[in-house]
Structure 1
């Protein structure tokens, strides 16, 4: 009796099924990773936008702060300049710079009919002469502005405190009677006109606009915190 041998074929999956599974798995992974990438990308864009906005806001704030500080400084500088100008206008100063003191107040000699009535500042002809204090010009011209030929070209300025300053032997007068001047304003150029032994500025402080009322100008300037 013959034996029947039966062969059982193993049930292996077909290649088409395997390929389909792989493709499906691949698609699933792609979908998962794609979603993650999209999510990550969205997160990055949001963060970047937020950081850019913060940086812009910070830049604007810094610029605004800088502008505010600049405006405050400009306002402060303007106030300081105004204050300095006001202080200068209220102060006194020497009528010339870079001088040598020569004949002093009260000096006697052949050059004066009486004792010397002012302080002489030896300076070259053409030196700038400035108003020693704020005031109004009450005399200006040759013949001492009316005080006599000995003074040559001269100017007298009236000040608010009742004092007068006089500038003589000038080569050039740059103001007119009635002009308002401030401390430090240029009013003339020094010279050697009138009864003068050499180039210099003759300077007086008076209690009236006229000759004969002079007081010691150096002492007076000292009382106004100006030391010559």
Structure 2
């Protein structure tokens, strides 16, 4: 039996075969690597999507919280504004008041006697000399001064105020007058000090409600004040 000897061509064929195997192996490795890379990217994408969604939810929650806070602030502002409007309305609604505080009613309207040439034209509020006398309602001073502000010396120092409803209030026997004709006054504003001037038997405020600024048009002042909600 004779030995076969290897020819150059058979050696080359073997080398080519080995090279092909190596190439295939490298290709497989490359394919595996590419697949791994794609899988990694897919995994990263899967992780990234929930992260974006979570950030969106957080942003939405933050926006809603901010909106709720702003709504709360606006509600508080509206509440304050409503309170201010209510307070202003209540202040504006202050209508009529007593002309003095801490008084005692003395001579009443329509009372007869030798103190008056006719029946008593007003209501007397017994108070010490120097007591604060206030406008019973807002209006304009139409009379002020001595001699009953033009109504006669029996009234002493006096003030007459015209009110928007067409009525007039008169304050007499004053020790001091602190307003002037044409002056606008508010409800409760100081206008004078009580006294004992004119035809007076003792310190008091003589108060009238009139339908005109002049003597002779008086109505019962207590009934009138009670009709507008004043507790006399």
TM score, norm. by length of structure 2? 0.69
For residues 31-59 of structure 1, what are the alpha-carbon distances to aligned partners after superposition, in whole Å with 9 as ceiling and x for unaligned?
A: xxxxxxxxxxxxxxx9xx99997897677
State the shift of 1:136 in Å: 1.3
Deviates more, 1:111-120 or 1:50-59: 50-59
- Rounded to whole Å, the distance in 1 between the matches of 2:166 and 2:60 is 67
Deviation track 1:133-190 (CA, whole Å, cap 9, x = no partner) reads 2221110011111111211111001122222110011122221101122222222221
Gap runs ≥5 in structure 2: 1-51
* Cα distance in 2 for residues equivalent to 1:193 and 1:107: 20
Quote the residue 1:104 is aligned against: 108
Is residue 223 from structure 1 mapped to residue 227 from structure 2 by the alignment? yes
Corresponding residue pairs, total:
193
Work out which of the residue numbers 182, 185, 199 in structure 2 matches 1:181.
185
Q: In structure 2, how many angstroms separate the alpha carbons of the residues matched to 1:136 and 1:222?
A: 22
Alpha carbon RMSD of aligned pairs, Å? 3.1
Which deviates the most, 156-165 or 201-210?
Answer: 156-165
2:106 & 2:87 partners in 1: Cα distance?
A: 35
Residue 127 of structure 2 corresponds to which residue in structure 1?
A: 123
Deviations 1:89-139 (A, max 9, x none): xx2222112211011011122222221110011112222211112221110
> Aligned partners of 1:214, 1:104: CA distance in 2, in Å?
13
The runs of at least 4 consecutive aligned structure 1 residues that moved more than 4 Å come to 49-63
What is the match of residue 73 of structure 2?
Answer: 67
1:1-228 → structure 2 map (5 Å cutoff): 60-61=66-67, 63-88=69-94, 91-228=95-232
- Structure showing greater radius of gyration is 2
Q: Matches of 1:205 and 1:111 in 2, distance apart?
A: 20
Q: For 1:56 and 1:98, locate their aligned partners in 2 and report how far apart those are by CA, in whole Å.
A: 61
Does 117-126 or 67-76 show the bigger shift? Answer: 67-76
Query: Could you give the per-residue CA deviations for residues 49-89 of structure 1, whole angstroms, max 9, x where no partner exists?
Result: 9999789767745643442233112211221122113212x
